[in-house]
Structure 1
């Protein structure tokens, strides 16, 4: 499984991919290297034609079906976005018809890009709220229409195609020791493919670390329990990597690792990483694309003085999501909080309240929830500040002034209802 035969198939996959695009850049990032005291390279999979590595597996699967003479002439897939775009691009390249099943909740930018890459070669059908819904629909369509279903990650040919990322990295850093490779994990196709490639080489394998969204820890949970585990519920914010269950084929490879080798990236911290890369480096990343970079926060003591490669994928970000990303980042960093508080209904009460705020406290939201109350009114209050410790001072002032309040920042149900 990890030997020369697999390496040969990966070499063939990479050679075929050159029909579509050159090897993606491997760039030494001075900002991250200086910040973490290491030589940090970014493998820019966000610079493929579809802005993610997913095109590699989809293309490899389809080219092999065609070469084998097994293709029916029609393909289909299910995807929350990135796999769909790679699939659509490959359909148009091969001149074959395809149908893409996507969740209704897929960001509009990814839907439109899928249509753009596929052109007249593909049809897009929106089904259900989650990936599992559209995957069920895709499998049903495959049976009924006799179409070849191109899986997003759980197939040997997909794993083989994604492994071409590792082959490019090795060639681009030829002669230099790679101490660690950090890669994102959703369904596990990329992670298992790269693991197999490095394990099959004659040279020592670099240390491997994997990164999942904290709200969708399928691999980490499966490793902790020692068996493939389906998550009963996931947070879909990191739509490019949030899956309920890692693939069976990828897990067969990845089950050798410790749970500690899988880093869970909090969604709020991930938002801060996205904003940092956008503002400092001008690199536009979707949440899944920032996973490997965000993991540096967990690895900083382990990587000092070492050469580290981060797989960055993808870059399909809908800028309509930017306010939500900023909001999540501020909350995670402790710079923004929401409160429900009781304020006396008397002349001058509002002025007295405003005098409690510090010089760096800014009111971002102020809304009466019960305007008809005679003695006290309930208020929804949102405050941004420049340092987290400012909130401790502010709350002491609230208490000293007798203001009753409730912090609802992390109360998901109440916050979603009111904010």
Structure 2
């Protein structure tokens, strides 16, 4: 065992006084679906519903051990680190200030208030993590506080690495893992677990999963240099980071772009709905990344293998559920949007309805404008039971006198009219 593994054990002993180990659960559903042996490390079942409490608690404990009179702790977060930070501040009886983006789901804001009351204040600023992080650092410097980073610090990495220690302690006797699938945002979790497994001398393969629209690790590995993305999509808010952590990239730079899976947002939504409907597990988008990756790995890396997916968080705001369901249906090929032109004559609508199949359902029907004397434009949303039904519908459209265009994947038009 190396020094890093020794330090992880020490931090884990500290955490064990306030946190129970999260379960390592076998998933029969996912195992049957992928013809493999799939286990889930349920970090969504910590008191703050994510693994982030591990790093925050470890950091504040070590800071107070060095300076018991530290007057103020500060952090920036898209939500999960904030909750872990608030939980730790309240445990140690120390005041804290959290900076969160204005786009943070309300559920995460309310839970942060609950965990930190009455010691932790919340300030909402900016459109994403990087805006909030800049404001937090400026506030910290002006108020003689101590910044508790969300991922880019050796002690934070040690705290997150305790997930890996628990996985090994919970592994059934005689079972050896072929692969661990780890979500990546700032990289603290993946850096910690991969380094811990390496020091333990394990040959387990790793797959690292990022949101398709926030690929900071992937792009950095491609360039062989830590890059900052010009733009990220904040939908997968728990992993939408413009730049991988410097400390974390030191460890993760040994991987290649081929080791990173980029998960499409709509696919992640489909996985969230699947796990909710079938397994009864509530996941936030970042929490679904590792499970979603099972659908994107080559079959020879999954079939017949023993795999752990780290489920990183379950802080889901159910006000987002309609959008998640909508994205999931489109990704599964069960919902499409069209702009059609109906002739302006009696019976045209009735004729149109006769084109629909028995499994087709109109989810939206909205006149956009009367585009010409003889035609009117309609925004049409159709849901169906099987993706192949849409080809039958398209054939029916073509045989009719309807002019139509599928705008489902036309982002510019869809964002404007839907």
Length-normalised TM-score, structure 2: 0.97
Partner Cα separation in structure 2 for residue 96 and residue 409 of structure 1: 50
Residue aligning to 1:398: 397
Structure-2 change in CA distance of 1:46 and 1:25 (3 Å): same
1:276-287 matches, within 5 Å, as 276-287=274-285
User: 1:58 Cα shift?
Assistant: 0.7
Residue aligning to 2:175: 176
Compare 165-174 and 119-128 and name the one that shifted more. Answer: 165-174
Partner Cα separation in structure 2 for residue 145 and residue 393 of structure 1: 65
Partner Cα separation in structure 2 for residue 121 and residue 192 of structure 1: 31
Residue aligning to 2:407: 408
Residue aligning to 1:185: 184
Compare 29-38 and 134-143 and name the one that shifted more. Answer: 29-38
Deviations, residues 168-194 of structure 1 (Å, cap 9, x unaligned): 111111542111111100000000000
1:150-299 matches, within 5 Å, as 150-173=148-171, 175-201=174-200, 203-299=201-297
Q: Secondary structure at the match of 1:120?
A: coil
Deviations, residues 6-25 of structure 1 (Å, cap 9, x unaligned): 11111111111112211111
Residue aligning to 1:99: 97
Partner Cα separation in structure 1 for residue 114 and residue 149 of structure 2: 21
Deviations, residues 6-55 of structure 1 (Å, cap 9, x unaligned): 11111111111112211111111111112212221111100111000000
- How many residues align? The count is 416
Q: What is the aligned counterpart of 2:26 among 25, 28, 45?
A: 28
Checking the alignment, whether the CA contact within 8 Å between 1:65 and 1:71 is kept in structure 2 is no
User: 1:72 Cα shift?
Assistant: 2.1
Checking the alignment, whether the CA contact within 8 Å between 2:185 and 2:239 is kept in structure 1 is yes
Unaligned runs of 5+ in 2: none
Partner Cα separation in structure 2 for residue 353 and residue 301 of structure 1: 46
Residue aligning to 1:44: 42
Q: Secondary structure at the match of 1:304?
A: coil
Structure-2 change in CA distance of 1:403 and 1:216 (3 Å): same
Deviations, residues 242-289 of structure 1 (Å, cap 9, x unaligned): 111111111111111111111111111111111111111111101111
Q: Secondary structure at the match of 2:236?
A: coil
Compare 354-363 and 49-58 and name the one that shifted more. Answer: 354-363
Partner Cα separation in structure 2 for residue 27 and residue 285 of structure 1: 15
Checking the alignment, whether the CA contact within 8 Å between 1:72 and 1:146 is kept in structure 2 is no
User: 1:324 Cα shift?
Assistant: 0.5
User: 1:306 Cα shift?
Assistant: 2.1
User: 1:239 Cα shift?
Assistant: 0.5
Partner Cα separation in structure 1 for residue 303 and residue 333 of structure 2: 27
User: 1:402 Cα shift?
Assistant: 2.9
Checking the alignment, whether the CA contact within 8 Å between 2:152 and 2:246 is kept in structure 1 is yes
Compare 192-201 and 301-310 and name the one that shifted more. Answer: 301-310
User: 1:70 Cα shift?
Assistant: 6.7
Partner Cα separation in structure 2 for residue 267 and residue 11 of structure 1: 36
Compare 62-71 and 20-29 and name the one that shifted more. Answer: 62-71
The structure 1 segments of at least 4 consecutive aligned residues displaced by more than 6 Å after TM superposition are none
Partner Cα separation in structure 2 for residue 71 and residue 135 of structure 1: 24
Partner Cα separation in structure 1 for residue 371 and residue 288 of structure 2: 47
Partner Cα separation in structure 2 for residue 367 and residue 144 of structure 1: 54
RMSD after superposition: 1.3
Residue aligning to 2:76: 78
Q: Secondary structure at the match of 2:209?
A: strand
Residue aligning to 2:321: 322
Partner Cα separation in structure 1 for residue 412 and residue 42 of structure 2: 37
User: 1:234 Cα shift?
Assistant: 1.4
Deviations, residues 77-129 of structure 1 (Å, cap 9, x unaligned): 00010000000000000000000000111000000000001010100000011
Residue aligning to 2:353: 354
Length-normalised TM-score, structure 1: 0.97
Partner Cα separation in structure 2 for residue 33 and residue 372 of structure 1: 53
Deviations, residues 132-182 of structure 1 (Å, cap 9, x unaligned): 111011000010001101001111111111000001111111542111111
Partner Cα separation in structure 2 for residue 410 and residue 225 of structure 1: 30
Unaligned runs of 5+ in 1: none
Q: Secondary structure at the match of 2:296?
A: helix
Partner Cα separation in structure 1 for residue 371 and residue 165 of structure 2: 68
Deviations, residues 362-400 of structure 1 (Å, cap 9, x unaligned): 111001111585321111111111122221221222122
Partner Cα separation in structure 1 for residue 370 and residue 305 of structure 2: 60
Checking the alignment, whether the CA contact within 8 Å between 1:271 and 1:328 is kept in structure 2 is yes
Residue aligning to 1:303: 302
